[in-house]
Structure 1
């Protein structure tokens, strides 16, 4: 376990776009205001400062870029009753807000389930009622399968029983009800999880099932194949939520040919020594992430 972070403060601007917010880390007084934005989106349970590399990254971006961390309705314990579709709508509202403030280019960067948000931003259907603002690129950091990660921590019989219960509730019109803790606590403690969100995360073909290693070419064509903007993938060599049976490098390089946009060449190599969120990792691991992100943004 990483040591506790010491007290600190970070200057910036808190943007409120009901019902969400984003904290933009600003340059030192007197410095030019960056014209472009990297919008960082956390994963399950993440809140401000739960992933420490974000603040190192924010102060190391190319001069024309600033970083804002999104705080969606799904942040903290909210993920268990939220959805990727809701996240995407809220991300779009933040992108729209920053565009009105004069940001010229906006790239979205997801961590963990934030990566599902980023891919859903491109891959899910768009209609008149859920229009989303265009972005200029995307970064996936720790784009792991929630379905496979959950299966690592639950006995197969227990997982099958929980999946069956959740599916049954959804089919009976009670998908928004919270599953008993006896079914979900082994993975998620006391966090409330609706039957619908459990199916999305843990069942094959769920809304969140973007990165599982057993997905077909047709499924990848319908997801990665819809990404039409520059993409950088940062997949950790030591990510603890990836089954040992998965060849990580082969998996990432299987995704790349489906992308219609330009995939950064750095994506082909794993992020050496990187755990899931890099908290507690060696400084050179964080430095490598910062270097790759900076290089990618400079090419946008």
Structure 2
């Protein structure tokens, strides 16, 4: 692996215990003066600067918008012992903080499992009763963790892993870490609890929002609860999507179920785009930036 070059970005770090968000300064003017915010939420293992397009996007937003990257408790190696429900509570705390800072419109943008976070923000029960409202949502690389895991595991090994994780959960050992020989083919030495494995790898798990085999009734209970403007950015070359999945057909299956307005740009795949766009041609990144800009302008 080629080591990543050191990076430096000007901005403002917001600390909302136990999480933080880095608001990028897009110009010489203070980022805190922009009235609207795009809150970017990464996927499994992501941290600051792990997804390169974020900072190009931050410097190219419409003039009334700034971008802040969330750094949740589940960032880096924390995802294996976390949950979407915990993520959503932390995202809500950040949204509330930015409202108090004077931000008028706030859109959440998920990448990879950050998209599951965004869906959970709308589709899950607000048990605390204090989930902060947002004004729109963007899903970039909304792919199925379950299908991605299955691509890299022998079916028998996957069945054994799922059986062990489910058994441990039934026995009250859901917070126990699964053996590395079970999880390492996908996640290296990252600790993963039985509960989190079930959420990611088993049908109907907490994270199972985007699998291609989900029935319409299930999708109506998830996409049907998104009642704010939505933009979907599904990569034409996303390496975590099985070859058997018709990507465009899948996205266009979701769109009619959404209660809020879906941006017309969602109907077309992001041409040439890999999962996180790292290393993609500049034209691919530029197209993502253009689509996000158009969407935010319409909010």
1:118-148 per-position Cα deviation (integer Å, ceiling 9, x unaligned):
0000000113x25200000000000000000
Matched, 1:161 2:174: no
Native 8 Å contact 1:89 1:130 kept in 2: no
Whole-angstrom distance in 2 between the partners of 1:284 and 1:27: 21
Whole-angstrom distance in 2 between the partners of 1:130 and 1:25: 30
Whole-angstrom distance in 2 between the partners of 1:209 and 1:112: 12
Whole-angstrom distance in 2 between the partners of 1:13 and 1:47: 16
Q: 1:235 to 1:30 in 2, by over 3 A?
A: closer
Whole-angstrom distance in 1 between the partners of 2:150 and 2:129: 33
Q: How far did 1:73 drift?
A: 0.1
Task: Please name the residue that 1:291 is paired with.
Answer: 290
Whole-angstrom distance in 1 between the partners of 2:108 and 2:122: 11
Task: Please name the residue that 1:261 is paired with.
Answer: 260
Q: Secondary structure at the match of 1:298?
A: helix
Whole-angstrom distance in 1 between the partners of 2:4 and 2:296: 28
Alignment of 1:1-300 (within 5 A): 4-30=3-29, 33-127=33-127, 129-300=128-299
Whole-angstrom distance in 2 between the partners of 1:198 and 1:15: 31
Q: CA RMSD in A?
A: 1.1
Count of aligned pairs: 298
Whole-angstrom distance in 2 between the partners of 1:84 and 1:4: 30
Whole-angstrom distance in 1 between the partners of 2:146 and 2:180: 18
Whole-angstrom distance in 2 between the partners of 1:50 and 1:30: 25
Q: How far did 1:27 drift?
A: 3.4
TM-score with structure 1 length normalisation?
0.97
Q: How far did 1:29 drift?
A: 2.9
Native 8 Å contact 2:233 2:270 kept in 1: yes
Whole-angstrom distance in 1 between the partners of 2:129 and 2:190: 28
1:59-118 per-position Cα deviation (integer Å, ceiling 9, x unaligned):
000000000000000000000000000000000000000000000000000000000000
